[in-house]
Structure 1
Amino acid sequence: MFAMGGDRIEEAVEHAAKVLRGVAGQDWSVPAGGLDWSCLKTAEHIVGDFVAYACQLTSRAADAYVPFGAVLDEGTGPEGAIDAVEATGRLLAAAVRTTPRGVRAFHPYPAGSADAAGFAAMGIAEVLLHTYDIACVLGVDAEPPAELCEDLLAHLFAHVPPAPAGSTPWATLLWATGRGTLPGRARLARWRWHNTYALPAGPVALREVTPAAAADLAMGGTGGLTWLDGAPFEGTRRAAEMVTKAYAAGVHRPEWGMFALVRTDDELAVGGMGFHGPPDEEGCAEVGYDLVPGARGRGYATQALRALSAWALTRPELTSLLAVVEPDNTASQAVAQAAGYIRQADRTPNHAYALHRP
C-alpha cells in the first residue's frame, strides 16, 4: 500500500495507544528517551502536532502556521494523554480524508508546503517515533507493523536507502531519525524528512512521485492518480521503473526523480516528466517526458518543461539539462525547442538538445 491517508494514521495511532497503555501506570515525569521533555510532555507534543497538521490543512494556510496550539489540561495524567492522542489522531485522519486533491498547506521543509498525504506521513512519523521515545525509557517495545514503516520510509524518507539485508524497516526508520544504528552506516547527528515538491506550470502542476507510487505505476497501477485516457503512457511507466530500481539500490535522490503532470482544473494526470537521475560530475542531468494521447497538442508539456527546467537550474549542483529525443519524435523535439533547449551534436541515433544555466 503506497497511500498515506486517514487509514494509515488510525493504524499508527491504534498501535501507539496500545503501547502507551501498557506503561500508563509508570512514572511519566521522567525524560523520554533522547529528549529533554518528560514522557507526559512528549505525549502532549504528539497531540499538538496532530492538531497543528489538521489545522494547516483545514485552513489552507499558505505561508505560516495557524497561530494557536493544543495543550493538555493541567493535572492530566498518562491515561488522559493517551485519550488525547487518540482523539487528535482521528481529527487529523478526518482532515486528511476531506482535503481535496491538489490542496497544499504551509510546511517549511523542503518546499514550503505539503499535501494531505505529506501531513498524514508527518503525523504518522511523529506518533510512531515519539511513542518509541516514551516506551524505550519505560522499558517496553514499540516496534510498529513493518509495512507501515516501509510505506513511511518510501514517502517521507525517500532519500534514505532501504533496510539493508538482515535489518528491518523499523530499524531503518530509527536510524534515519537519529535514534538507532545500522551496520555499515554512521549514526546520524542531524536529519530531516522530505515532503514532495509541487511546481506550478500554467494549466498543469508537476507533482513529485514517491518511490512507493512509482513502484505501483511500474507494476501497471495508477500511482494513486486518476489518469486522462484511463492510464499513463508507456514512457511514464518506464520512468517509474527507473525510480523504483534507483530506490531499491539506495541511490535515489527525490528531487531528481519523477513528476506527474496533473491538470489543475480537474485533477486528471496527463503525463510524466522528470530526470534520469541526479546531475553527473559535470553538473548535467537528463530530462524525459511524455503525455497521454488525449492531452497532446495543448502546450502542457512545453509549459511543464519550462517550469521544471527553471526550477532545476536554481539547484547549485546543476549547470545544464539534456534532452535526448528519437529522430522521428518530432513532437518531443518541438517541446524541447519551445522550452528553450538548443540543438546539440547528435547522440547517434538520437537528437540532443541542451539548456544551460544563464
Structure 2
Amino acid sequence: MRNMGGEQVEEAVASAVALLRTATDRDWQTARAGRLEWSCRYTAEHVAGVLIAYAGQLAGRATETWVPFEITLDEGTGNEDVLQVVETSGALLAATLRTTPREVRAFHPYPFRSADREGFAAMGVVEVFLHTHDIAEVLGPVYEPPAELCADVLARIFPHVQPGADPWRTLLWATGRGDLPGRAPVTEWRWRNNLVVPAGRLALQGVTPAAATDLAAGGDGGFAWVGGGPFQGTRDAAGMLLKAYQAGVHRPEWGVFVLVRREDGRAVGGMGFHGPPDEDGRVEIGYDLAEAARGNGYATEALRALSAWALAREEVTSVFATTEPENTASQAVLARAGFVRVAAQDAEGTEQFAYELRD
C-alpha cells in the first residue's frame, strides 16, 4: 500500500511552486484568488501557515486544540519570497511526518477531533492543490496536479465522496470548485479523517477506502499485524467497504475498524458494521481476531466499546449480531458484552444464532 506522508507533501509543494513561479511578476496583492474572498498573496501565505500548523500539531502532540502560533512574513516580502516560505513550511511538515509514529494522533476539528500522520499529510496536500488552483485560476497558468495523488487523498479524507474517472475534477467538485456530470453542485464541504474509538487495551481505528483497497487485495492495509493476521473476515469486510465507496454510499462511521493494541501498536483483528442503521434503528455488527491474538479478551473489549458508541447515536435502537451454532467462542464474546440471544435464523440455508443488545 502506498503510504501518505512526507514524500507526497514534497511532491505537491514542488509541483505547485514550480507553476506559481511562472507568475511571480503578476500582482498578487490585489488579485482575488478564484472564488475566494482572499487575495492571491494572502492565499499563498495561508498555504504556508497551514503546512507549518500541521507540523506543529504533530510535533507538539496537541490533542485538545490548535497550538497557538502563526507565521508572520517580514515587511517587504515579495512573491518569490512567499513561495520560498511555502517550500520551507512544506519541508518542515514532511520532516515531521517522517518522524511521527503511526499511532500518534493530534487535534483537528473535522469531523472526530483528531487525525493521524496520514490524515495531516493528505490535508496538507489538498490545501496545496486547491489553493494553487485558486491562485492559478486568476493569474493564468493552467494547473493539473498528479492524478494518482488526487485519488490518494480522496480515498483517505473524502471517504464519503464517490470516486470519479478524473480524480482532480472529482476533488474540485467535492470542494465546491467545479461541476461533475450527474452530480449536484457542492456548496459546503468538510474532509473526514477516520474515526478512532477507545476500547480499553485497544484503539478501534476506522479503515479508510485506501486501506480497504489494500486489505481486500491481500495487503496489510498499512497496519502492523500480529502473526496470522488479518483474518479473512477482515479482508471480506474491507471488500464490502470498498464496494460501498465505489457506489458512493459509504458512511465511514458505519464501516470497518481495525483493533490496534495500545501497548505495541499491533493490529489484532477487525470489527465493523454491515452498513448504517436500518429504518428500525437496528445496526448489525461483525468481528474476527487474528489467531495469535485469541483468548485474551480483546474481542469482548472491542465489542463493548463499539456497541456503546453505536447505541449512543440517536438513530440506533439496537445492535444485532449472528454466529454459527458451533461457534461457542463467539457466543461467549457476545454474552460477555451484554448481548442476549433472541432467535435462530436461516441465512442462505445455514442456521445461525441471532443476538441483540439494546440501550
TM bin (shorter chain) = over 0.9
Q: How far apart, in 2, do the equivalents of 1:233 and 1:143 lie?
A: 40
Give distance in 1, aligned partners of 2:24 and 2:10. Answer: 20
Counting only pairs closer than 5 Å after superposition, residues 46-57 of structure 1 correspond to structure 2 as 46-57=47-58
SS in structure 2 of the partner of residue 347 of structure 1: strand
How far apart, in 1, do the equivalents of 2:125 and 2:17 lie? 13
Instruction: State the alpha-carbon separation in 1 of the partners of residues 345 and 73 from structure 2.
Output: 64
Spell out, residue by residue over 1:25-63, the C-alpha distance to the aligned partner (whole angstroms, 9 max, x if none): 211121101111110100100111011110110111111
Aligned match of 1:113: 114
Q: Give the corresponding residue for 2:243.
A: 245
Distance 1:132 1:261 in 2: 39
Counterpart-to-counterpart distance in 1, 2:64 and 2:213? 32
The whole-number CA distance in structure 2 between the counterparts of 1:39 and 1:280 is: 47
Q: Is the 8 A contact 2:228 2:292 kept in 1?
A: no
Structure 1 counterpart of 2:170, from 169, 172, 175: 172
Could you tell me which runs of 5 or more consecutive residues in structure 1 were left unpaired when the two chains were aligned.
none
1:89 match:
90
CA distance in 2, matches of 1:232, 1:168: 32
Native 8 Å contact 2:268 2:290 kept in 1: yes
Q: 1:275, 1:34 → 2: CA distance? A: 39
Deviations 1:223-263 (A, max 9, x none): 01111005311111111111111111111111111100011
Could you report, residue by residue, the CA deviation over 1:289-335 in whole angstroms, capped at 9, with x for unpaired residues? 00001111111110011111111122222222111111111111111
RMSD, matched Cα? 1.1
User: What letter is aligned with 2:44?
Assistant: A
CA distance in 2, matches of 1:31, 1:276: 46
CA pair 173-304 structure 1, distance change in 2 beyond 3 A: same
Alignment partner of 1:152: what SS?
A: helix
Contact 1:343 1:353 (C-alpha < 8 Å) held by counterparts: yes
Task: Give runs of aligned pairs for residues 201-240 of structure 1, distance below 5 A.
Answer: 201-240=199-238
1:352 corresponds to 2:354? yes
Instruction: Map 1:279-290 to 2 at 5 A.
Output: 279-290=277-288
Superimposed CA distance per residue, residues 249-283 of structure 1 (whole angstroms, 9 cap, x where no aligned partner): 11111111110001111111100001111112222
1:35-50 equivalences in 2 (<5 Å): 35-50=36-51
Q: 1: distance between equivalents of 2:40 and 2:72? A: 14
Structure 2: distance between partners of 1:176 and 1:152: 12
Q: CA deviation at 1:354?
A: 1.0
Alignment correspondent of 2:60: 59
Q: Residues of 1 paired with 2:335 and 2:16: CA distance?
A: 54
Q: Give the AA of the match of 1:18.
A: A
For residues 131 and 228 of structure 2, the distance between their equivalents in structure 1, rounded to whole angstroms, comes to 41
Between the two proteins, the alignment pairs up a number of residues equal to: 354
Q: Counterpart of 1:333 in structure 2: which amino acid?
A: Q
Other structure's SS at 1:246 match: helix
- 8 Å CA contact 2:228, 2:290 repeated in 1: no
- Is 1:139 the equivalent of 2:140? yes
Mapping 1:234-273, distance limit 5 Å: 234-273=232-271
Give secondary structure in 2 for the equivalent of 1:7: helix
Give CA deviations for 1:147-170 in whole Å, capped at 9, x if unaligned: 10101000010001111xxx4111
Between the aligned partners of 2:75 and 2:356, the Cα distance in structure 1 is: 63
The alignment partner of 2:283 has SS state of strand
| Structure 1 segment 310-349 matched on structure 2, within 5 A | 310-348=308-346, 349=351
- Quote the residue 2:302 is aligned against: 304
Which amino acid is the alignment partner of residue 136 of structure 1?
Answer: E
Given residue 27 of structure 1, which amino acid in structure 2 is its aligned partner?
A: D
Q: Is the 8 A contact 1:2 1:213 kept in 2?
A: no
AA aligned to 1:183 is P
3-state secondary structure, aligned to 2:106: strand
Task: Tell me what 1:195 maps to.
Answer: 193
Residue 22 (structure 2) pairs with residue 22 (structure 1): yes
SS at match of 1:22: helix
Aligned mates of 1:245, 1:22 — CA distance in 2: 42
2:229–2:291 contact (8 Å) kept in structure 1: no
- Report Cα offsets for 1:56-108 as digits up to 9, x if no partner: 10111111111111122222121111111111011101111111121111111
Mapped contact 2:319–2:357 kept (Cα < 8 A): yes
Q: Give the conservation status (yes or no) of the 8 Å contact 1:5–1:97.
A: yes
AA matched with 2:357 = L
Q: SS at the partner of 2:296?
A: coil
Kindly indicate whether the alpha-carbon contact (under 8 Å) linking 1:47 and 1:71 is maintained by their aligned counterparts in 2.
no
What is the identity, as a one-letter code, of the residue corresponding to 1:210?
A: T
The structure 1 residue matched to 2:183, chosen from 185, 192, 217, is: 185
**CA distance in structure 2 between the aligned counterparts of 1:220 and 1:313, rounded to whole angstroms:** 32
